[in-house]
Amino acid sequence: MNTLIAFYENIGLALTVLVVLTFVVAGGVKGVIGLGLPTIAMGLLGLAMPPAQAAALLIVPSTLTNLWQLATGGHLRALLRRLAPMLAMIFIGTAFGSVWLGINSGPWAAHALGAALLVYAGYGLVGPTLRVARGRERWLGPLCGLVTGVVTAATGVFVMPAVPYLQSLGLSRDEMIQALGLSFTVSTLALALGLAGQDALGGQALGASLLMVAPALLGMLAGQWLRQRISPVVFKRCFFIGLAALGGHLLING
């Protein structure tokens, strides 16, 4: 029990409340639009702690919520066959990026996190709707996976360019939700190994991350309830505007 709460005893009550509220909000966003938990968590926590510390906190709740997401839909086997090259390169890119860059490798890490959030928000707001021909997936999928892995290792954010690529494949809604869960699960596990290699994911960090599962799941349930009562399009637009502001702040101020 001491291992579970030691991290929060060290950071104090105010920051502990911020962490809990962050995961409730991040889970809520994921419940409404199917993604955003690690992105929101990294962005908000990056305002108050080093990115490596923030990334360690999201490992367990992100993994469990993504496993929940990919377990439903009935398309897992087909998606695994189709996306295997991209998923393999996400893992390899994250491992390579952890050695080459590392999320805890310097004061530029917060600025890199801000840039990643800003780029993703910009794409979400004004990015074109792309379509990738099936024949091009053979080389474009692994390339997007490699870049996504390196970005994941450097920032803890694993949406670019994986999300635009998956959106360009013409998947059905259920397939898309399951594909996102699959991609995010691989990215989270690869990030966990990268953090462990940098000595940023010990027993205390895992215990602190485990305690954030309940707030994240509570937020997801609230988000799923909210999804039936608001326009997902309007919510998503507000999400990306807020993300752009957050990313801009981190990019400028670090």
- Cα–Cα distances (Å) from 127 to 61, 161, 165, 197, 205, in that order, read 29, 12, 12, 35, 36
Please tell me the predicted confidence (pLDDT) of residue 32: 82
pLDDT of residue 121: 86
How many CA within 13 A on the CB side of residue 52? 20
Exposure string over 187-216, b if 16+ CB within 10 A, otherwise e:
bbbbbbebbbebebbeebbbbbbbbbbebb
pLDDT at 169: 92
What's residue 115's pLDDT? 84
What is the mean pLDDT, run by run of 10 residues, along the chain of 254 residues?
71 89 91 81 84 88 86 84 95 88 66 82 81 88 94 85 90 86 91 84 85 92 85 80 82 73
Residue 1 has a pLDDT of 52
The pLDDT value recorded for residue 4 is: 63
At residue 61, the pLDDT reads 93
pLDDT value for 254: 59
Contact indicator for 184, 39 with CB cutoff of 8 Å: no
Query: What is the span of the domain harbouring residue 43?
Result: 2-253
Structural domains in the chain (count): 1
